[in-house]
């Protein structure tokens, strides 16, 4: 049924892009704008200028983290729809811990501590669905969605109950915990918010995907995704692995706060990074199983997000959510058509 | 008035009944879909799109009844897309559901701006104004949406158990290959079941919008997912699912009362239905009730 461990094929990706393009033209035309005009605006707002490129990379950074997180769970056949909530509590944790460190903490200490706090919070948030799934067999799709809602409320409560010391947001994290902008290396990115978090995201993607083949844990996850009962018979602790997969997935989703809190704002406010968790689902479904695929998918959806902002004055940016849905379906259809034996 | 007397008032009962409608109709949509073997997490998107469809047509034509029909048709249409992708295209039902929810959340906002130039809500519509001036409980009990939902729940329970269509629907959900072998058109049956479920769910989306007399962006607020949890908790049975929804709606109504009547932080009370859903999932996970198992062929395709 589900080909969670399979690699994505080129024709399917092409089908997705063409369907997305068609939907773009159709919807823009129906809205009463010119498809070619909007397309050129979209291009200039994204890949047309070095600032635009920087913004696309900035948008792609958290998407790549959450995409890798979802992909890891998907490896074991699990849908982690909770990346959104895991990122929210992770971002809050990064900001709270990062702002409470002594002012002069060197970067080599401060950044890892803030990151560790974010990952721990994300892992803890994923821990609830993990235990519910491993111990009680509760479906992770529903429990992770419920945890997203609970995260919204918990973050709001935390901020209202005193974590937001400057009104609606947390204090600034100490300078050492901030991830430097990429424009120190590439001056033409000046003004855009892309940071070294992008490098960390790409490294994470390659590291995690490599671990699918090279570590016992990774190989077992893939085999559980293909046939959990056979793995049970092989004495692999399937339930424990499933719990671990969700917790690790939550930790990676929490690490996406490198791109939102530590690499961008330097503090947390409600709604910061919102949507990156759901975007990660799209990234994982598209780039499934390969690091290059995940990076390209994150770039595609980063382009759509940034492009949506570039068009928003003329066409509602929510157009891009519809396009994402269309692309996901078209790619999945292309895959399914290939899987099916020719009759 | 003390919090306790509010909780046990007729207003509270009416409130609970009213809030049950979207939950119960979405859950019934889920039961119909999943009993035919199609996993349906797209309910959230169906609620949302049918809510907008009903308000748009009501606003455009001035007829509340036309709006209801549009909501039902909209729900059926979106569900038919889900069914086509899953049953004919054979893509993973969760993937299709995620995509539809994403497209519905974005698409309704897109249309809101296209139609009304607003990113948050539609102009207000009248909805049904029946029995004005009568007691709130009377008005709720004779609410057309409540009556229609109750009829749909009872009708679906009877249909599944006693009709040929229901038997075939269940056969597709239990063992699609066997159903196909004895001549049931599995693809057609499943598409019909999911679309029918979408129509019922669309009724709930319409009720949601008419209740507030307008469409608001994101107004489904996770109800589709809670309804899906109710489906699982109920053991895929229409009447039990409706009862589970009544419980969730009661908790929802309770948290609103508590928000107004107590000083407890509103964020903590607002999560009550979601926490209750998690607890309910855990409670039902280990029961040995043979009647409450998932359909055997859920998510399987005929070979």
Are the Cβ atoms of A328 and B95 closer than 8 angstroms?
yes
Residue listed under structure tokens 């994403």: B102
pLDDT in tens, chain A (343 residues): 344 445 556 788 888 889 999 999 999 998 888 888 888 988 988 898 888 898 899 999 999 999 999 999 999 989 999 999 999 999 999 999 988 888 888 888 888 999 999 999 999 999 999 999 988 888 888 899 889 989 988 888 888 877 766 667 888 888 877 888 888 888 888 888 888 899 999 999 999 999 999 999 999 888 888 888 888 888 888 889 999 999 999 999 999 999 888 888 888 888 888 888 889 998 998 888 899 989 999 999 999 999 998 888 888 888 999 999 999 999 989 888 887 765 4
pLDDT at A229: 84
CA nearest neighbour of A206 among A303, A10, A79, A67: A67
Quote the distance between the C-alpha of residue A93 and its chain's center. Answer: 17
pLDDT at A8: 58
Sign of CA dihedral A121, A123, A126, A131: negative
**Residue A184 Cα, gap to closest chain B Cα (Å):** 36
Taking phi first (over 0 means left), then psi (-120 to 50 degrees means alpha), and beta for anything else, what does residue B118 get? beta
What number of residues does chain A have? 343
Are the Cβ atoms of A320 and B265 closer than 8 angstroms?
no
**Rounded Cα distance, B275 and A158, in Å:** 17
**Rounded Cα distance, A295 and A61, in Å:** 9
Quote the distance between the C-alpha of residue B290 and its chain's center. Answer: 25
The model's pTM: 0.90
**Rounded Cα distance, B159 and B143, in Å:** 24
Are the Cβ atoms of B98 and A81 closer than 8 angstroms?
yes
For B56-78, write each residue's pLDDT tens digit.
Answer: 999 999 899 999 999 999 999 99
ipTM exceeding the 0.85 mark: yes
**Rounded Cα distance, B253 and B258, in Å:** 9
CA nearest neighbour of A268 among A165, A196, A185: A165
Sign of CA dihedral B149, B66, B123, A29: positive
pLDDT at A3: 43
User: What are φ and ψ of residue B281, in 5° steps?
Assistant: -60, -40
For chain B, list residues with pLDDT below 70: 1-4, 6-7, 286-292
Quote the distance between the C-alpha of residue A58 and its chain's center. Answer: 12
**Residue A186 Cα, gap to closest chain B Cα (Å):** 35
Residue listed under structure tokens 């109800």: B223
Q: Measure Cα distances from A57 to A184, A195, A286, A304, B108 in Å.
A: 15, 9, 18, 11, 28
pLDDT at A166: 67
**Residue B74 Cα, gap to closest chain A Cα (Å):** 17
Number of separate helices (H) and strands (E) present in chain A: 14, 0
Are the Cβ atoms of A328 and B99 closer than 8 angstroms?
yes
Which pair of tokens denotes residue B255? 């948290």
């Amino acid at each position: 049924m589900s080909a969670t461990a399979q690699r994505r094929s080129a024709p399917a990706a092409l089908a997705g892009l063409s369907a997305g393009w068609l939907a773009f033209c159709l919807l823009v035309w129906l809205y009463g704008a010119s498809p070619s005009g909007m397309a050129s605006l979209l291009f200039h707002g994204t890949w047309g200028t070095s600032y635009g490129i920087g913004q696309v990379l900035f948008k792609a950074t958290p998407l790549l983290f959450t995409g890798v997180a979802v992909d890891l769970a998907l490896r074991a056949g699990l849908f982690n729809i909770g990346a959104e909530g895991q990122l929210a509590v992770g971002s809050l944790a990064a900001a709270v811990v990062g702002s409470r460190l002594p002012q002069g903490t060197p970067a080599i200490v401060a950044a890892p501590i803030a990151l560790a706090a974010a990952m721990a919070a994300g892992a803890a948030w994923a821990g609830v669905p993990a235990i519910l799934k491993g111990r009680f067999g509760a479906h992770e799709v529903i429990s992770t969605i419920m945890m997203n809602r609970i995260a919204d409320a918990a973050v709001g409560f935390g901020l209202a109950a005193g974590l937001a010391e400057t009104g609606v947001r947390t204090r600034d994290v100490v300078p050492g915990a901030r991830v430097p902008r990429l424009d120190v290396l590439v001056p033409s990115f000046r003004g855009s918010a892309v940071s070294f978090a992008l490098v960390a995201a790409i490294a994470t993607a390659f590291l995690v995907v490599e671990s699918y083949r090279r570590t016992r844990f990774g190989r077992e996850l893939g085999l559980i995704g293909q046939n959990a009962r056979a793995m049970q018979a092989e004495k692999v602790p399937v339930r424990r692995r499933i719990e671990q997969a969700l917790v690790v997935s939550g930790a990676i989703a929490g690490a996406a706060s490198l791109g939102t809190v530590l690499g961008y704002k330097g503090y947390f406010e409600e709604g910061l990074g919102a949507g990156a968790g759901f975007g990660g689902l799209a990234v994982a479904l598209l780039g499934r199983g390969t690091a290059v695929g995940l990076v390209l998918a994150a770039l595609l959806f980063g382009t759509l997000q940034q492009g949506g902002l570039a068009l928003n004055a003329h066409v509602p940016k929510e157009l891009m959510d519809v396009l994402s849905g269309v692309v996901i379906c078209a790619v999945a259809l292309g895959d399914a058509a290939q899987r099916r034996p020719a009759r | 008035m003390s919090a306790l007397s509010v909780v046990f008032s007729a207003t509270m009962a009416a409130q609970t009944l009213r809030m049950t409608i979207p939950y119960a109709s979405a859950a019934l949509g889920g039961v119909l879909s999943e009993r035919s073997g199609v996993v349906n997490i797209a309910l959230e998107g169906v609620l949302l799109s049918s809510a907008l469809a009903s308000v748009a047509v009501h606003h455009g034509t001035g007829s509340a009844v036309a709006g209801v029909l549009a909501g039902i048709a909209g729900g059926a249409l979106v569900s038919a897309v889900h069914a086509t992708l899953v049953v004919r295209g054979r893509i993973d039902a969760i993937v299709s559901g995620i995509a539809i929810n994403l497209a519905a959340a974005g698409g309704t906002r897109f249309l809101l701006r296209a139609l009304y130039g607003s990113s948050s809500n539609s102009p207000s519509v009248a909805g049904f104004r029946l029995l004005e001036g009568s007691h709130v409980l009377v008005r709720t009990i004779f609410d057309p949406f409540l009556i229609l939902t109750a009829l749909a729940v009872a009708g679906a329970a009877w249909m599944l158990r006693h009709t040929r269509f229901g038997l075939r629907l269940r056969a597709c959900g239990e063992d699609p290959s066997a159903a196909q072998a004895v001549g049931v058109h599995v693809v057609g049956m499943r598409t019909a079941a999911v679309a029918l479920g979408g129509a019922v769910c669309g009724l709930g989306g319409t009720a949601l919008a008419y209740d507030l007399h307008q469409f608001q962006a994101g107004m489904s607020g996770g109800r589709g997912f809670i309804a899906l949890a109710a489906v699982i908790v109920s053991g895929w049975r229409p009447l039990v699912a409706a009862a589970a929804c009544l419980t969730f709606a009661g908790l929802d109504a309770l948290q609103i009362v508590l928000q107004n009547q107590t000083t407890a932080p509103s964020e903590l009370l607002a999560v009550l239905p979601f926490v209750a859903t998690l607890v309910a999932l855990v409670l039902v996970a280990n029961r040995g009730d043979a009647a409450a198992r998932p359909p055997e062929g859920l998510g399987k395709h005929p070979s």
